[in-house]
Amino acid sequence: MLKEEMLELAAAVADPEGKRAVLRDCLQASVLRSFHEAEAFLSVAMVGDGAAAAPGGAAGVPGVAAGLEFVLLDKKDYKPERWLFTAKRRLWFMGLDPRIAFARKLAVHQGWVKVPGLLAEAGLPEDPADPLGFRIQIALAPPENNATTVSVVERHGLRFGLKATR
């Protein structure tokens, strides 16, 4: 997917919040595809609203996750900085100028993916202090119920495997 394709998808939606949701969903799908390619799902599983919404892949639907939440299942191959670098490279090749940060703090590691200027290109107002983006959280405490499912997800022409726990 390229930036121009994302903007076309957003242009097909009438309301501003729907446009914003489509753009965020495209960004999240691209990041999840990058995580798949970097083998992140050997170590983490998705949880929360994002895991429930991911198999549906319906962009612009109310309830699209505002962030991506994961839980650590195996420390052996836990390399979130590498996964985010892979995502940043993918977004750059899509024609975007992403800003990505990551912090290892306490029991939850957090990352942020932001793409300044994309809302303006979609004809939406943008606050420079709050560009389009989302948060990534990785809880380090394993869940009590370690039951995971793996599914193949297709969103916006991107296909990837996704491990989730509910």
Tens digits of per-residue pLDDT, 5-19? Answer: 999 999 999 999 999
Tell me the CA end-to-end span of the chain in Å, nearest whole number.
29
Q: What pLDDT, on a 0 to 100 scale, did the predictor assign at position 62?
A: 39
Q: What pLDDT, on a 0 to 100 scale, did the predictor assign at position 57?
A: 42
Q: Are 3 and 94 in contact (CB under 8 A)?
A: yes
pLDDT at 56 over 60: no
pLDDT at 33 over 60: yes
**Alpha carbon distance 16, 11 (integer Å):** 10
Percent of the chain clearing pLDDT 90 (strictly above): 75
Kindly indicate the confidence band of residue 154, based on its pLDDT and cuts at 50, 70 and 90.
Answer: very high
Average pLDDT over residues 99-121: 94
Element (H, E) at 67: strand 67-72
